[in-house]
Structure 1
Amino acid sequence: MERIKILFIMQSFQGGGAERVTLDLINHLDRKVYEPSILVVNCFGELVPSIPRDLTIIEVLSKNEKMITHPIKVISAVIKAAREVDLIFGTLEMTPTYLASIASIITKKQAIGWIHTDVREYPKTNHLVHKFLIRTLYKRLKAIIAVSEGAKVSFEKMFPQIKVPVVRIYNPIRLDDIYKMAPEENDVEDTEPIIIGIGRLSEVKGFDHLIKAHHYLVKKGVKNKLLILGEGSQRKELEALILDLGVEESVTLKGFVENPYKYLRSASVFVLSSRYEGFSVVIAEALSLGIPVVSSNCHSGPSEILEDGKYGSLTPIGDYEALAIKIMETLHSVDLENNRKERIKRGQDFSLQKIIPEFERLFFLVLHNRQI
């Protein structure tokens, strides 16, 4: 039987959650059934070593070239690649999905888009140009995947005129890799409770609130160390805040790490301080290791994973004092170990083995023009 060829369109291989999940999905598709390939607009990023070796990679622009100055080059490459496949998959909102839609219009191949964020909160989707492009191009897709029910509802409310089916498929987590990589040795000194945050150093992730919450705890006499894993444009701003608050001895910005799980397993509490999210792979990963979770109550993602507080604590967005108090309560909770098995079981609900079949079912429905 001839394999189904799927073209995955990516912006880059930077170390974001969406890019990592895309590679995980590709890596775990049944190669007896599917023949995936990747077209990447800018081929750079920390995740390049994670690219499956059996893939065809189509590189379009150099790291320093921008699509805005080379649109014809990019669109031409996408159309050429799309002619050779059965299905086109825009793996991120906006640019990759715009390209998937354009290729679909020209080649008559079916295309799917993927929403990883709360579009009503995401600044770029509120720009007039992007609103126009989404309204124009997304309606030509066969289906749209949303990473959470909240992200799905957000999109449907913001773009009610787009009648394309929006399907909620949670982001999967790679449990086998997590359990294999977590026991590796780390350089964490756990003489005091360890609070860990993970994500790109950007405003949306709210690490400024997390650092302020840590400072609040220190002032209250709650001993703890804060470790933040990830790299990004806000590093200098966060470093200045750390110095301004005088917590440079107890806060570490570790940068991007190949194996975050060896640090995560040492956490007394994992904290998500985001201003908004689409899903939050790191919450699911923390739960799978049994780590207690405190999260800001974003409009989508965290509350679904934590089932409105059943598996972790939720706090108002941007309220660092409330965040600190929940962290303190979690550190002092007597039920943490008793609830460990429940957290692990909840994390396993998002395993690749459970989620990948949902993608494969959607691929089948799209390719065979079945009702979605």
Structure 2
Amino acid sequence: MKKYVFITNQFKTGGVESVFLNIARNTDKEILLFPVHNSKDNYLIDSLPKNVSILQNKYLIKRNIVGLFKTIFIAYKYRKKFQSNDYRVINFSDTLTTLLFSYITSPKTFFSWVHCNPYALTNAKTYRLYWYLLKKCSKIIFISESQRDLFYKMSLSKNLCKENSLVCTNFVDISHIIKLSEEDIRLKNYFFMAARIDFRSKDYITLLKGYSLLPTKIRDKYKMVIAGNGPDIGRLKKMVENMNLTDNVMLIGNQVNPYKYMKHAKLYIHSSISEGFSMAILEALMCGCTVIASDCQVGPSEILLQGKYGYLYRPRDSKMLASKIKEALHNPIYEDEAIKRAEFITEKGKKQLRSFFDD
């Protein structure tokens, strides 16, 4: 039986890791997980299903040019093993390191998953090399139709064949979310957002400005609860202080179980600059939340079906966000409708995943 080698940048709390876990739990294929950087969260490792084995990278790779050369050296050590027909190598992170590693280990046949907004990839100085390696892929896998459409409209992709791509829509582990969402919490009357605290992709500035524009009686009734951590946590704390929102905004750090907060939230607000799909929106729908999301490229509009299953606002428009919050409080999305939308997307994604593994 063919073994599937998933090359990741790391294995810490994040959307990519959630996607991997959902994939692994919904197939009986034998999977080898290889985090290039030896950075892992133990609770995630403990939650891996039995069909997943971890390949330990015994080499310390720094995130610099020396680390890149070391990556090449390590990849060649695995090449003899992974380029056989018994393995299918998959780059599962949006990084040059993992893409290059995948190419070197299996140059004739390798696959690459794209998780982010394709334009975000051009922010790196090495983006031309990235696209060169994408042209070498046997198949490129996208996580939403709108993401794939955007990718092939880019001038960098004009020589790439769309037929050599497929969509495996992100999906959720329904039973897992339902079980965890039933846990009790003490918090009541709050809005919620769970995401990495990174101002490059998540728009916490508009979130706080929009929240601050709400009438005092709404802010006094509903706190803004933010779960997550990241490189800009210090900036976010300072913003909360400077905007005099310390009594209204709660920063609760990374949460192993964000679903119990989603389940009991009055609204789930997802404020982004850029997305590839947004697992958090889909998870919030599965918890029955009324979702408000920025209509950024790409993903939120597709998940919410252009606003049928949630509220969309223009990115960076804090006034519109405040307006949508007030509108959603008066006209929430029915819980059953939100859950049905998440179930529909999940079944679609599982079907696409089965086709990928059966190909």
Normalising by structure 2, we get a TM-score of: 0.90
Q: Using the alignment, how far apart are the partners of 1:63 and 1:253 within structure 2? A: 33
- 1:363 lines up with 2:353 in the alignment: no
Residue type matched to 1:41 in 2?
V
Task: Look up the SS of the partner of 2:40 in the other structure.
Answer: coil
TM superposition shift of 1:226: 0.5
Please, which of 209, 223, 226 is the counterpart of residue 225 of structure 1?
223
Superposed CA offset, 1:250-286 (max 9, x none): 1111110111111111111001100110101111111
Superposed CA offset, 1:53-83 (max 9, x none): 5533123266773363233442343341524
Q: 2:100: which partner in 1?
A: 98
Superposed CA offset, 1:122-147 (max 9, x none): 1x4244422x2123211111111111
Please, which of 151, 154, 157 is the counterpart of residue 155 of structure 1?
151
- 1:211 lines up with 2:208 in the alignment: yes
Q: 1:180: which partner in 2?
A: 179
Q: 1:74: which partner in 2?
A: 71
Checking the alignment, whether the CA contact within 8 Å between 1:228 and 1:254 is kept in structure 2 is yes
Checking the alignment, whether the CA contact within 8 Å between 1:147 and 1:170 is kept in structure 2 is yes
Checking the alignment, whether the CA contact within 8 Å between 1:216 and 1:324 is kept in structure 2 is yes
- 1:41 lines up with 2:36 in the alignment: yes
Name stretches of at least 5 consecutive residues in structure 1 with no aligned partner: 366-372
Normalising by structure 1, we get a TM-score of: 0.87
Name stretches of at least 5 consecutive residues in structure 2 with no aligned partner: none
Q: 1:12: which partner in 2?
A: 10
Q: Using the alignment, how far apart are the partners of 1:317 and 1:83 within structure 2? A: 44
Please, which of 37, 47, 51 is the counterpart of residue 48 of structure 2?
51
TM superposition shift of 1:156: 1.0
Residues 167/140 of structure 1: CA separation in 2 closer, same or farther (3 Å cut): same
TM superposition shift of 1:101: 2.2
Q: Using the alignment, how far apart are the partners of 2:198 and 2:153 within structure 1? A: 26
Superposed CA offset, 1:292-335 (max 9, x none): 011100121000011001000110001111111101111122xx
Q: How does 1:1-372 map to 2 (within 5 A)?
A: 3-30=1-28, 34-46=29-41, 47-60=44-57, 65-66=62-63, 68-79=65-76, 80=78, 82-83=82-83, 85-95=86-96, 96-105=98-107, 108=108, 110-120=109-119, 122=120, 124-130=121-127, 132-158=128-154, 159-163=157-161, 165-188=164-187, 190=188, 193-203=189-199, 204-219=201-216, 221-222=218-219, 223-333=221-331, 336=332, 339-351=334-346, 354-365=348-359
Q: Using the alignment, how far apart are the partners of 1:239 and 1:140 within structure 2? A: 43
Residues 329/301 of structure 1: CA separation in 2 closer, same or farther (3 Å cut): same
Checking the alignment, whether the CA contact within 8 Å between 1:82 and 1:88 is kept in structure 2 is yes
Residue type matched to 2:345 in 1?
F
Q: 1:370: which partner in 2?
A: none
TM superposition shift of 1:181: 0.5
Checking the alignment, whether the CA contact within 8 Å between 1:149 and 1:300 is kept in structure 2 is no
TM superposition shift of 1:44: 1.9
TM superposition shift of 1:242: 0.5
Residue type matched to 1:249 in 2?
D
Identity of aligned residues (%): 29
Checking the alignment, whether the CA contact within 8 Å between 1:10 and 1:41 is kept in structure 2 is yes
Q: Does 38-47 or 341-350 show the bigger shift?
A: 38-47
RMSD of Structure 2 on Structure 1 (CA)? 2.1
Q: Using the alignment, how far apart are the partners of 2:73 and 2:26 within structure 1? A: 29
Residue type matched to 2:102 in 1?
A
Checking the alignment, whether the CA contact within 8 Å between 1:230 and 1:254 is kept in structure 2 is yes
Q: Does 147-156 or 250-259 show the bigger shift?
A: 147-156
Q: Using the alignment, how far apart are the partners of 2:83 and 2:33 within structure 1? A: 14
- Deviation above 6 Å: which 4+ runs of structure 1? none
Superposed CA offset, 1:21-68 (max 9, x none): 1122123211xxx21101111122333433335533123266773363
Checking the alignment, whether the CA contact within 8 Å between 1:97 and 1:112 is kept in structure 2 is no
Q: Using the alignment, how far apart are the partners of 1:137 and 1:290 within structure 2? A: 41
TM superposition shift of 1:99: 2.1
